[in-house]
Amino acid sequence: MPVGAYFGRGTPNTPYLFPEVWKSLGGEFLWSSECYNDDVPYWLDLPWEKDLPEDKREGMLFIPYNYDCNDGKFHMSPGFGSSVAETYEQYLRNTFDCLYREGGKMMNIPLHTRVIGKPGRSEALRKFMKYVAEKEGVWVTTRRAIAKHMRSHFPYKPNREWMRGA
């Protein structure tokens, strides 16, 4: 069973329903990506937990999603164009370089096999990943691993919009 979700077509209440549904199915819910507003994960209070004792609150870990580096832009106009893989590779490098300089940031690269799986596009991704691998201190990982890291090193603290404006 998945431990997180990105639905992308919900209401403002959608991300807060995920933990309830997962629990009802006996699963563990670690994160939601129903947000597009940051380059770092963060915690938010769950509305229905406000009357619970603090030690019983779980909060919600948000790991932001973005369309910025999404390979779907090969199919959008204006986007990366249907065959301009070098533009995509350069855009990924520019984005990475900026976030790397800032430090402590997360770069999302949403990929779809039917899009990035084309030979020229996958070659651009391969070149970018090789570029990233040459940089010191970079962690290429999954949202599950990010969620586990956040939970163990930066656990939820009730009544605090975690790291917002800090």
User: pLDDT digit of tens for each residue in the chain (166 aa)?
Assistant: 889 988 888 788 887 788 888 889 999 899 999 888 899 999 998 888 889 999 999 899 999 998 889 888 887 666 665 557 788 899 999 999 999 999 989 999 999 999 899 888 899 999 999 999 999 999 999 999 999 999 999 999 988 765 444 4
* Tokens encoding 36: 């597009």
Q: Walk across the sheet containing 60-62 and list its strands.
A: 4-5, 31-32, 60-62, 42-44
pTM of the model: 0.85
Residue 5 contacts by C-beta under 8 Å, 6 or more apart in sequence? 18, 29, 31, 32, 33, 34
